[in-house]
Amino acid sequence: MSKAAYEKPTIIKIESSMSKGGVPKLQQKIRMHIDGIKITDLTKEYGSPLFVFSETTMRRQYQKAYKAFSSRYPNVQFGWSYKTNYLKAICAVFHDEGSIAEVVSEFEYEKARANGIEGKDIIYNGPYKPYDSLLIAAREGAKIHIDTFDEIHDLERVAQELDMIIPVAIRMNMDTGIYPQWSRFGFNIESGQALDAVRRIEVGGKLKLTGLHSHIGTFMLDANAYKMQTTKMIQMMKEIEKTTDFIIEYLDIGGGFASQSALKGVYQPPEVIVPSIDDYAEAITSALYENLEPGNYPKLYLETGRHLIDEAGYLISTVVANKSLPDGRRSYIVDAGVNLLYTAFWYNFKIESVQEHKGLMEPAIINGPLCMNIDVIDESIMLPRLDRYDNLVISPVGAYSVTQWMQFIRYRPQVVMIGLEGEVDLIREGEDLSDVERREVMPERLER
Amino acid sequence: MKNKLLKELQNYTAGILSAYSEIFFLHGIRVGAALLVLSFFNFNVAISGLLSVIVVLTFAKFIHMESDFIRSGFYVYNPLLVGMSIGFLFKITFISAILITLSALLTFLLTIVLFALFSRSALPILSLPFTFVSSMVYLASLSYTSLFTSALYVHETPFIFDVLPLYISAYFTALGTILFMPNVFVGVMFALILFTQSRLIFFASLMGFYSGVFFHALLLGSFYTALSNPYSFNYILIAIALSMTFLVPSMRSVVIAIIGVAMSVLVIDASSAFWTIYKIPVFALPFNIVVIFLLYVLRSVKFSEIAYEIKTTPEKTLEYSIMSKKRFRSGEIALFLPFSGTWNVYQGFDDEWTHQGDWKYAYDFIITDDEAKSYKNSGDFLSDYYAYQKPVLSPVSAYVVETMSYLEDNQIGEVDNVQNWGNFIILQTLSGVFVELSHFAKDSIVLKRGDYVEVGQFLGLCGNSGYSPQPHIHIQVQESAYLGSKTVPFNFVSNIHNTSVKFYDRPQKNTTISAYFNDRALERKMSFILDSYFEYEVYIHALQQENMKISVGMDRLSGLFYLYDQAQNRLYFSKDAGMFYFYDYQGSWDDNLAKIYCAIPRFPLNTQKGLYWSDVVMSRAIEPTLINRYLNFGAMFSSKNYLIDGSWKFEDEKTISGILDTNENSKIRIELDDEQGFKRIDIGEFSFRKKGSKIL
């Protein structure tokens, strides 16, 4: 065993005004297993950094959410929000549970089709849907949610080209009492724009309005906003059915349910402020029962993504170096940075070590491996003194991380899923140079 | 103008002819015509009968009765009988014609009055008006000396058919007597008509006559006297009415009919002794008394064979009744599930815990998880229970007659045994069914007395008030509006167990069942609007044979909707109770419309992939055999040969596959249209492919 390198001692005052009886001893956060699989075994086998997904958690979250809604309102359909996480294996689990697909681009549409999802089981959202993709989606019977007047125009051309009446829904935005109000997607209700869009569709005679969609925001901490949203959508539905021949077959209330992740700048922990899925379900279904004509209940679509997957995802990283900063804080450099965790800009993750360490907790900063000043995973965390090559488990990282990650400076790592029986499957291989260069074309004149 | 006159004339003729067939519990103009022709065997009787019918129809027209009443023959057969009975006594002269006219009108009025009185208890008037007025006329005419001197009709027998032994000829004579022609030849003709129209009625006439004669002979001690009794035609009428017409043909109905016939022996002998003093015949009084008495009692006890839907022949009544019992559990109250999503049957009917005695017909529902537990965590708190605070939805469309919502929810481990029912709602449907739901959460009921709720409407939240050890929904159907009144059996219109849809089912204890709402898209697809039509190309063994046009029609009298083809076959459909279904077919079973009935007798209005269900269809539409075509009365004993089981499944939201349990295992494939109705229907070697349509 080699002798530990010498390091200059520092004294830091750990401030706390919690109690006169002394500072309560901070608990070390330890996680040795994920779904019964030892984390060090995982890194030994698959390397580090490593994304780990728990199939058990995904299914449990889905079933809980489905039950919360279906036991209150039976006509419920979940649509898996592809942008949250579109790894094939992840999609497969949610489709297996009964979700259809919710996509927001032609790329995601193709992905859903490649996953074996039929057009009719795809909800096609998004502010930009290229003409050719609309053509395909209309032909395959997808649920197209119109975002702009220009898109109405495009779809009418598609209808003409295909010689068919295309069933569509419109996306709407509205004031639900939350700030900021999302107004850039779809047609505004309060200004009368949404109704104008409906009339425009009716006059065009090429499209058939069968659904209403709206998505009021993301990481919504107020369940009541959904009640307001649902109420306004039903009022709209009634107005449309009264003044036109359209029959609204479904209401899509989008996604945005929060997960157990801690937003930066929010003081309380998620356990305190994040509503439960039952709270969301209660708010939405009570609005349905209060406002709909009894017995005439449209289908309810939900595009829940984050809430179903976030807690199922872990990122295992390794401390590759450590040093002390001039202000006395400890800096740990880990092998996973904002290249893998774009979401680190707005979340404070839970960071756990895989074994207990001796010694007092001290202020530390966790930096990523990028040669960029902004590469910070956590800028203020209390940790015991960690050793080089210790593992840290960062969670929840199931949502958006493996879709928003970048191949920047480093390769993207392996992704594994732990199955219901504890089987560990590689669901995405780590990248190498060939992946990065595969699309590159070298002009001959520059070859050497 | 000419057309109008022609139409009038048609109505008239239909009215006259229908009246003749009504007498034998038959329907239709052709039978009526045959009977009318036969009645001319006794010219005087025939003319008198015809006269009274014409008088009545003219009068009905004069007072502007609806033409549908005139056509049906229902109000006219009693006057017809009265006319005939007078014609039996007096020759047609100016004076007797006056007598006939007046009596016919009197009978007509009495028919309408009695009908109004009897229909309240859903009882038939039979030939009561005739019996009453005829007796009156006979009594009155005793003092009309001018009639007796000028017009008394002396019967001469044209030719006697005495080749037959008495025990056979007596039956035919009795049949003839029904139309005042106690003649073997006429009887034979009547028997032939009965046999061609309905084997069941013919059988009942034999059974009634000989069992009546048997009982009469036992009491009299002489078969000869029993056979020669002029009133033995009553046995025939009683047997037909009881075993075939007002009760669904079955062994139990036959037993009732025999009891009725036996009782009528007493009435015949008693009344003939009494009536003879005043020189009036007994007519059909015994028949009327026995049948009306029995029906009143059987109806009040809801005898299971009561025919709620009387078709044109007993065979059809039987078919309809078998199908509605098998397919819709008719005669029993059906509710919708009072919740959303998947719940578990905690207690069923006659269950070990509280569903006992007067309160045995009730269901309790809870929500359970994969481990069959109804709670999470330790289960020490109300909020641990999955059912707690979940919406309770209305199982019927009804008025709220009583409700209470202020009781506290019991903590786990306590029950309220003073206010057993807890917070509750009692609903009363428009048809008078009382439904009670219990154990709502405190202050969760959003309704008050007098509110009207639709099926599926939010009533309140599931709670733990009253005698409730854990949050659950209690539901029962009861006899009256009062809390705690006696319960009655019921079933649930539809429920899904795994992916199996059960219709009119009573789920077993501990089974998990789900409710569903109608899919709006599918519901719209199956909303057929009057005067829309669909054109299909019909393929047999993949070869195009013909075209078929199916239109949407509505019955003017009942307001019921049906599909009809070029041959005017009718296939009645409905779209409620969470399903689209066909429930009645009128027409030729060889025609293509009957195939469509068999291809998709019903399906849930919910396209959840993999949903499957079973049903039955009439076998003669698929595999016509001698037995199920002409000997269909056999279904009276066992419906096995007459029904085929089938099962169907949603392959995806547009496709239904199915299979019928026939010898060839007929395969079925249904493609629903994007716009409306069916795009393609394949059944066995038949294929119907939509060619065009007009959708309103």
Any A CB within 8 A of B695 CB: no
CA distance B461 to chain A (A): 10
Which residue from B391, B524, B653 is facing A285, i.e. has the nearest CB? B391
Contacts of B453 in chain A (CB under 8 A): 294
As a whole number, mean pLDDT of residues B312-332 equals: 88
Any A CB within 8 A of B516 CB: yes
Q: What is the pLDDT of residue A416?
A: 97
Distance CA B559, CA A206 (A): 36
As a whole number, mean pLDDT of residues A31-52 equals: 95
CA distance A193 to chain B (A): 26
pLDDT above 90 covers a percentage of chain B that reads 52
**CA dihedral defined by B86, B88, B92, B95, rounded to 10 degrees?**
-30
Q: In chain A, which residues touch B (CB < 8 A)?
A: 67, 70-75, 118, 120, 210, 247-250, 282, 285, 289-290, 293-299
Q: What is the pLDDT of residues B246-267, one digit of tens each?
A: 999 999 999 999 999 999 999 9
Which residue from A72, A210, A249 is facing B340, i.e. has the nearest CB? A72
Contacts of A293 in chain B (CB under 8 A): 454
User: Quick check: ipTM above 0.95?
Assistant: no
Partner-chain contact A250 B391, CB within 8 Å: no
Q: What is the pLDDT of residues A189-206, one digit of tens each?
A: 999 999 999 999 999 999
Q: CA nearest A285 in B: which residue?
A: B391
Any A CB within 8 A of B597 CB: no
Structural tokens at position B516: 């569903």
Tell me, yes or no, if the two domains A33-52+311-430 and A86-304 fold the same way: no
Distance CA A369, CA A332 (A): 10
Any A CB within 8 A of B339 CB: yes
Q: What is the pLDDT of residue B150?
A: 67
Q: Across chain A, which distance is largest between two alpha carbons, in Å?
A: 83
Q: What is the pLDDT of residue A238?
A: 95
Asked whether the predicted pLDDT for residue B158 surpasses 60, the reply is: no
Report which secondary-structure segment, H or E, holds A225.
helix A224-243
Partner-chain contact B391 A247, CB within 8 Å: no
Residues 6+ apart with CB under 8 A from B15: B53, B57, B70, B71, B72, B73, B76
Q: What is the pLDDT of residue A294?
A: 80
Contacts of A65 in chain B (CB under 8 A): none
pTM score, whole prediction: 0.82
Any A CB within 8 A of B515 CB: yes
Q: What is the pLDDT of residue B180?
A: 87
As a whole number, mean pLDDT of residues A440-448 equals: 90
Q: What is the pLDDT of residue B556?
A: 82
Asked whether the predicted pLDDT for residue A18 surpasses 70, the reply is: no
Partner-chain contact B340 A290, CB within 8 Å: no
As a whole number, mean pLDDT of residues B598-625 equals: 89
Asked whether the predicted pLDDT for residue B311 surpasses 60, the reply is: yes
As a whole number, mean pLDDT of residues B401-424 equals: 90
Asked whether the predicted pLDDT for residue A23 surpasses 60, the reply is: no
Q: What mean pLDDT value characterizes chain B?
A: 89
Structural tokens at position A227: 């009640």
Q: CA nearest A120 in B: which residue?
A: B653
Contacts of B341 in chain A (CB under 8 A): 67, 70-72, 74
**Other CB atoms within 10 A of residue B270 CB:** 12
Q: What is the pLDDT of residue B165?
A: 86
Q: What is the pLDDT of residue B100?
A: 92
Distance CA A294, CA A265 (A): 43
What band does A271 get if pLDDT is binned at 50, 70 and 90? Answer: confident
Q: CA nearest B457 in A: which residue?
A: A294
Whole-angstrom CA distances from B175 to B52, B222, B239, B241, B312 are: 22, 21, 13, 14, 20
Asked whether the predicted pLDDT for residue B154 surpasses 80, the reply is: no
Q: What is the pLDDT of residue B252?
A: 92
Q: What is the pLDDT of residue B161?
A: 56
- Alpha carbons within 13 A on the beta-carbon side of A6: 1
Residue with the bigger pLDDT between B312 and B235: it is B235
Q: What is the pLDDT of residue B595?
A: 92
Contacts of A74 in chain B (CB under 8 A): 340-341, 514-517
Any A CB within 8 A of B521 CB: yes
Whole-angstrom CA distances from A139 to A126, A133, A142, B393, B454 are: 18, 10, 8, 39, 39
Q: What is the pLDDT of residue B170?
A: 92
Q: What is the pLDDT of residue B160?
A: 57
CB B590 within 8 A of CB B624: yes
Partner-chain contact A75 B516, CB within 8 Å: yes
Residue with the bigger pLDDT between A16 and B313: it is B313
Alpha carbon A267 to chain centroid distance? 22
CB B694 within 8 A of CB B532: yes
Any A CB within 8 A of B453 CB: yes
Q: What is the pLDDT of residue A311?
A: 94
As a whole number, mean pLDDT of residues A126-141 equals: 96
Q: What is the pLDDT of residue B88?
A: 86
Report which secondary-structure segment, H or E, holds B563.
strand B561-564
CA distance A200 to chain B (A): 22
Domain residue ranges in chain A: 33-52+311-430, 86-304
Structural tokens at position A240: 């449309």
Asked whether the predicted pLDDT for residue A35 surpasses 90, the reply is: yes
For A33-52+311-430, CATH gives 2.40.37.10
What band does B558 get if pLDDT is binned at 50, 70 and 90? Answer: confident
CB B557 within 8 A of CB B529: no
| Backbone conformation region of residue A361, classed left if phi is above 0, alpha if psi is from -120 to 50, else beta | beta
Partner-chain contact B454 A285, CB within 8 Å: no
Q: What is the pLDDT of residue B122?
A: 85
Partner-chain contact B653 A282, CB within 8 Å: no
Beta strands in B226-324 (DSSP E): none
Q: What is the pLDDT of residue B212?
A: 95
Q: What is the CA radius of gyration of chain A?
A: 25
Contacts of B367 in chain A (CB under 8 A): 71
Residue with the bigger pLDDT between B642 and B333: it is B333
Partner-chain contact B521 A210, CB within 8 Å: yes
Distance CA A117, CA A102 (A): 11
Q: What is the pLDDT of residue B159?
A: 54
Interface test with A, best of B458, B522, B523, B696 (most A CBs within 10 A): B458
Note which residues in 341-370 of chain B have CB less than 8 A from chain A: 341-343, 367
Residue with the bigger pLDDT between B607 and B686: it is B686
Partner-chain contact B386 A289, CB within 8 Å: no
Partner-chain contact B455 A210, CB within 8 Å: no
Range with the poorest average pLDDT among A7-21, A53-67, B159-173: A7-21
Range with the poorest average pLDDT among A289-303, B160-174, B202-216, B423-437: B160-174
As a whole number, mean pLDDT of residues A371-397 equals: 92
As a whole number, mean pLDDT of residues B421-435 equals: 94
Q: What is the pLDDT of residues B373-387, one digit of tens each?
A: 999 888 899 999 999
Write the secondary structure of B267-320 as one string of H (helix), E (strand) and C (coil): HHHHHHHHHHHCCCCCCCHHHHHHHHHHHHHHHHCCCCCECCCCCCCHHHHHHH
Q: What is the pLDDT of residue B144?
A: 80
Q: What is the pLDDT of residue B14?
A: 83
What band does A269 get if pLDDT is binned at 50, 70 and 90? Answer: confident
Q: What is the pLDDT of residues B498-541, one digit of tens each?
A: 899 999 999 999 999 999 888 888 888 899 988 899 999 999 99
* Range ranked top by mean pLDDT from A127-136, A215-224, B657-666: A127-136
Partner-chain contact B394 A290, CB within 8 Å: no
Q: What is the pLDDT of residue B92?
A: 86
Partner-chain contact B456 A75, CB within 8 Å: no
The answer to whether domain A86-304 has CATH 3.20.20.10 is: yes
Residue with the bigger pLDDT between B621 and A367: it is A367
Q: What is the pLDDT of residues B270-299, one digit of tens each?
A: 888 887 777 777 788 999 999 999 999 999
As a whole number, mean pLDDT of residues B14-32 equals: 85
As a whole number, mean pLDDT of residues A119-130 equals: 95
Which residue from B340, B453, B521 is facing A74, i.e. has the nearest CB? B340
Partner-chain contact A289 B339, CB within 8 Å: no
Q: What is the pLDDT of residue A26?
A: 67
Q: What is the pLDDT of residue B639?
A: 80
Range with the poorest average pLDDT among A338-342, B14-18, B424-428, B566-570: B14-18
Partner-chain contact B521 A249, CB within 8 Å: yes
Residue with the bigger pLDDT between B630 and A166: it is A166
Q: CA nearest A295 in B: which residue?
A: B456
Single out the residue of B466, B461, B444 nearest to residue B388, CA to CA. B461
As a whole number, mean pLDDT of residues B332-340 equals: 93
Asked whether the predicted pLDDT for residue A25 surpasses 70, the reply is: no
